[in-house]
Amino acid sequence: MNGANISWTRVGLPRRSFLRGASALGGLAAAGLLPARWAQAAGGTLRTRTYADIRSMDPAFSQGVVDEEIHAAIYNKLIQYKPGREWGWQLDAAAMIEQADDTHINFALRDDIGFTNGFGAMTAEDVKFSFERIIDDALESTNKPDWGPLSHVEVTGERTGTIVLKNAFQPLWSITLPYIAGNIVSKAAFDSVGGKIDTQPVATSGPYLHAGWEPKQKTTLRRNPDWKGEAAAFDEIQIYHIDDEKAAEIAFEAGEIDFTRVSLDSVERLKSNPIAGATLEEFPSLYYVWVGMNLDNPKLGNLKLRQAIQHAIDVPTIMAAAYFGAAEPSTGIIAPGLAGHRDAPLTGVAADLDKAQALMAESGEAGVSLAIDVLNKSANVTAAQIIQANLAAIGITLEIRLHEGATFWELGSNEDLELVLNRYSMTPDPYYATSWFITEQAGVWNWERFRSEEFDKLHLAAQSEGDPAARAAMYARAQDLMEESGAYKFLTHEATPVIYRNSVTPALRPDGLPLYRYFGTA
Amino acid sequence: MTDASLPKPRSELGEILYHLVRDPLGLAGLIIVLAILASAVLAPWIAPYDPVALNVPDRLQGPSAAHLMGTDQLGRDTFSRVIWGGRVALQVALPTIGGAIFFGLLLGMIAGYGPRWLDNLIVLLFDTIRSFPTVMFALAVVALVGPSLNTVILVIMVTSIPTYGRVVRTLTQSLREAEFITAERALGASTARIMGVHLLPNVLGPLAVLAAMDIPTVVGLEAGLSFLGMGVKPPTPSWGSLLNDGYNLIRNTPWLIIAGGIPLILTTVGFTFLGEALRDVVDPKLRGKGGK
């Protein structure tokens, strides 16, 4: 469960202890001795912002953080991410959960969680249904990989069961259970609508109810009056769809929203001219940004040429101009704090022009003309222009091709792809990062067509490796292999600056993403 | 009074210029347009810095003696990029309008002078092209084939042809039965001669007015596409990409968006004034009456 550099703490009490403590906590709250989050709900409305519209309220078809921000508030999981600066989890629907051995995880559900719309109490059958449907080929869930080697869930009692894996799977505790695939839905509710849903939940169980969705405008969550857990802090949460970060900042300054991520270029301004009654906080991000080179393209077939490109790119300049000094250079695809994070990349961070020129000379290439495909976002365009200037210094002409989202995300299957400036999202386990670069993913998400038997083996072995140090070493070696191929120049993990009104106590993951169910009032 | 004492008659161009400079709006428009043209043509000599040379340590500087309009996020001199951006704007506008006038003239005269079935066919073609919203059409084409200066020129040119073609067709239709054309026809003049020698000069004036009024639209369209990243490729300076950089940094460095906006405003004002004045000059009914 533990990575080399990450401590997965477990917060929460067994059910009996929880009940014993509840009355005491209530008394303290009444006496005003507890922070508001622990006291009775303060009421009011939390207005926040999401950068995209929802895609599905079915966890099997959740498209990532946008959907999950809502799912985490309206559904329950056995465990949830713990808000704070360090990755960890805490109990949610589980009163108890323990790893019996490498492939068996026993759990016991709380007895006070019920589904809305009369679908009854949450049982182990619901857990079995929720998890097994995701790995059912017939359902074609987009989130099947998150469940890794799940074999089945054994129901041992009304509220007890055992998750049975085919082999050990370390990401279970960091990705599967506390994230998208860990949401528990009502079997009876889903059966009543044919087994799957779209954008309208049929029954929920969390501290908030899904009260409405106005496409491209907002999602409204309302306090669940039947929720027996820690009281929800707000009567209502309104999540506005504001695509543009600048527009969100203006909305925040105008008092229209209470919490939003802000753009990196605004950090300096917001630090020097703070908004009254608001707090700016910076979080490291897990995203990874890199320059990829298509190994199947004959124009990039020369290893020395690729290495010359790796050494010519000046990452600190990109950090200064494209990320306004608010992000740090990365060393690979695994961010600091996660197992396998490397202290330094093999090809350095700053450009080494002498080495790049020497490698160009060794390559025997001259008059090289290449193209880099870039998603049309401000930071990307700026970074691409720096890379263009960097490569010009070693005699490579680089054309910048800008794309809108729809065309950019189709490029993976384009065999003529040359260079690409890419950015993938990430979950707090290195398994998630390496999964996109295995041979099987070549031409799908592995746009560089990087193929390495050793890498594939490391990816498979590391997901089961129980020794944190050994696991970390495996992921570090996997990133070495990526870099040694000459197909990658790692740039940054970016950063997540957020701003919130002081009347709100945000509950954020260590990467700055919100956990609305735990938001409180200050 | 001898012949020598009579004022020398002005050429047609001289006549137009004479009336233009006497109209305050026309004069202002002419000066602005000439200034824009001059700065675009002389960009390599008057721009103080290389518009694409990066100087990251000097990024986001405010206006100063060294950098009149400050610097952008890559430390490039904004003033130099504005001047070079004018060159891109005109590189798009002139061939676009020129091409649209050429094909509009050709198709419009054929439609106006040719047989009825050909007229119907060409009008159908014009209507088909015009049925596409220009910006959406441009975005769709650029998304398919990728952004480039040539793509932008081609897209805007194609969508502008019907505007000119319809005007030419209407003028041709009104002239084809005129007495001097009937006389030419009776004298055995060929269709090509009638169209080239007699019709063409009569439709050029209104087209010139239309072209002057259209240039700001084309410049604005190019800027719009570049603002969206669908126009010229980076690092080529364009007023639209300047606006985009400025928009992204509007709260930190407002001078960037101002620098990108000023030339667009001046271009619109200049060409509109010039077009209005030209319209008054080429239309004898309006000449000397201050327009409407």
State yes or no: pLDDT of A36 exceeds 80.
Answer: no
- Cα–Cα distance for residue pair B148/B154, rounded to 1 Å: 10
- Cα–Cα distance for residue pair A158/A226, rounded to 1 Å: 21
Strand ranges (E), B223-284: none
CA dist A95 → A183, A229, A520 (Å): 16, 12, 23
- Cα–Cα distance for residue pair B251/B246, rounded to 1 Å: 9
Highest mean pLDDT among A460-464, B228-232, B245-249: A460-464
- Nearest Cα to Cα of residue A347 among A448, A489, A479: A489
Shortest Cα distance from B153 to chain A (angstroms)? 18
CB neighbour list of residue A350: distance below 8 Å, 6 or more residues apart: A314, A315, A316
Q: What value, to the nearest 5°, has the Cα angle with vertex B36 and ends B31 and B42? A: 120
Q: Minimum mean pLDDT among A492-506, B76-90, B225-239: which range? A: B225-239
- A496 token code pair: 């997540």
pLDDT for res A20: 36
Q: Which residues in chain B (71-90) have CB-CB distances under 8 A to chain A?
A: 73-75
Q: Which residues of A touch B230 (CB under 8 A)?
A: 376, 402, 404
CA dist A117 → A214, B121, B122 (Å): 21, 63, 63
Q: HSE (CB half, 13 Å, CA atoms) of B231?
A: 31
- Cα–Cα distance for residue pair B114/B120, rounded to 1 Å: 10
Q: In A277-393, which ranges are continuous DSSP H helix?
A: 303-312, 315-322, 353-363, 378-392
pLDDT for res A26: 38
pLDDT for res B137: 84
Q: What is the mean pLDDT of chain B?
A: 86
pLDDT for res A35: 40
CB neighbour list of residue A264: distance below 8 Å, 6 or more residues apart: A323, A324, A326, A327, A379, A494, A495, A497
Q: What is the 3-state secondary structure (H, E, C) of B142-165?
A: HHHHCCCHHHHHHHHHHHHHHHHH
User: Which residue does chain B place closest to A389, by CA atoms?
Assistant: B54
Residue pointed to by tokens 């952008």: B72
Give me the CATH topology for the region B12-282. Answer: MetI-like fold (1.10.3720)
Q: HSE (CB half, 13 Å, CA atoms) of B151?
A: 18
User: How many other C-beta atoms lie within 10 A of the C-beta of residue A169?
Assistant: 21
Q: Report how far apart the first and last C-alpha atoms of chain B are (Å, whole number).
A: 37
A108-113 — which CB contacts under 8 Å span 24+ positions?
A108/A15, A108/A159, A108/A160, A109/A78, A109/A159, A109/A160, A110/A15, A110/A159, A110/A229, A111/A15, A111/A159, A112/A228, A112/A229, A113/A76, A113/A205, A113/A228, A113/A229
The answer to whether B140 faces chain A, any CB pair under 8 Å, is no
Q: What is the mean pLDDT of chain A?
A: 90
Buried b (16+ CB within 10 A) or exposed e, A499-510: bbbeebbbbbbb
Q: Are A122 and A184 spatial neighbours (Cβ–Cβ below 8 Å)?
A: yes
Shortest Cα distance from B229 to chain A (angstroms)? 6
Shortest Cα distance from B263 to chain A (angstroms)? 22
pLDDT for res B5: 62
* Length, in residues, of chain A: 522
DSSP B94-129: HHHHHHHHHHHHHHHHHHHHS-HHHHHHHHHHHHHH
CA dist B44 → A36, A88, B81 (Å): 65, 59, 11
**In this complex, do A246 and B73 lie within 8 Å of one another by their Cβ atoms?**
no
- Greater model confidence, B289 or B102: B102
Percentage of chain B surpassing pLDDT 90?
Answer: 43
Of B146, B228, B250, the CB nearest to A401: B146
Percentage of chain A surpassing pLDDT 70?
Answer: 92
Q: How many helices (H) and strands (E) does chain A have?
A: 14, 23
Residue pointed to by tokens 């009304």: A158
**In this complex, do B73 and A388 lie within 8 Å of one another by their Cβ atoms?**
no
pLDDT for res B207: 86
For residue B255, which phi and psi values (nearest 5 degrees)?
Answer: -65, -25
Please state the domain extents for chain B. Answer: 12-282
3-state secondary structure of B35: helix
Structural domains of chain A, ranges and CATH numbers in brackets: 9-256+497-521 (3.40.190.10), 288-493 (3.10.105.10)
pLDDT for res B9: 65
- Cα–Cα distance for residue pair B173/B196, rounded to 1 Å: 15
Region of residue B120 (left: phi > 0; alpha: psi -120 to 50; beta: else): alpha
Strand ranges (E), A102-235: 104-109, 150-155, 160-165, 183-184, 208-214, 218-223
**In this complex, do A269 and B251 lie within 8 Å of one another by their Cβ atoms?**
yes
CA dist A340 → A150, A477, A486 (Å): 24, 8, 20
Residues B91-115 have a mean pLDDT of 91
What is the torsional sign of CA B243, A403, A321, B81?
Answer: negative
- Cα–Cα distance for residue pair B220/B224, rounded to 1 Å: 6
- Nearest Cα to Cα of residue A351 among A317, A322, A382, A325: A317
CB neighbour list of residue A203: distance below 8 Å, 6 or more residues apart: A115, A116, A117, A119, A185, A186, A188, A189
- Greater model confidence, B43 or A5: B43
pLDDT, tens only, A360-376: 999 999 999 999 999 98
The answer to whether A268 faces chain B, any CB pair under 8 Å, is yes
The amino acid sitting at A452 is S
User: Which residue does chain A place closest to B250, by CA atoms?
Assistant: A246
Q: What is the band of B248 on the pLDDT scale with cuts at 50, 70, 90?
A: confident
pLDDT, tens only, A251-295: 999 999 999 999 998 998 899 999 999 999 999 999 999 999 999
Residue pointed to by tokens 């880099």: A372
- Nearest Cα to Cα of residue A160 among A74, A102, A103, A98: A98
For residue A96, which phi and psi values (nearest 5 degrees)?
Answer: -150, 140
User: How many other C-beta atoms lie within 10 A of the C-beta of residue A5?
Assistant: 15
Shortest Cα distance from A409 to chain B (angstroms)? 13
DSSP A33-89: -S-GGGSS---SEEEEEESS----SSGGG--SHHHHHHHHHHSEESEEEPPSSS-EE
CB neighbour list of residue B154: distance below 8 Å, 6 or more residues apart: B141
pLDDT for res B135: 81
- Cα–Cα distance for residue pair B222/B174, rounded to 1 Å: 34
**In this complex, do A266 and B251 lie within 8 Å of one another by their Cβ atoms?**
yes
**In this complex, do B230 and A249 lie within 8 Å of one another by their Cβ atoms?**
no
Residues A102-114 have a mean pLDDT of 96
CB neighbour list of residue A53: distance below 8 Å, 6 or more residues apart: A66, A215, A216, A241
pLDDT for res B6: 63
- Cα–Cα distance for residue pair A190/A197, rounded to 1 Å: 7
Most distant pair of Cα atoms in chain B: their distance? 76
pLDDT for res A38: 36
Of B74, B146, B228, the CB nearest to A382: B74
- Cα–Cα distance for residue pair A27/B58, rounded to 1 Å: 60
Residue pointed to by tokens 């020698």: B197
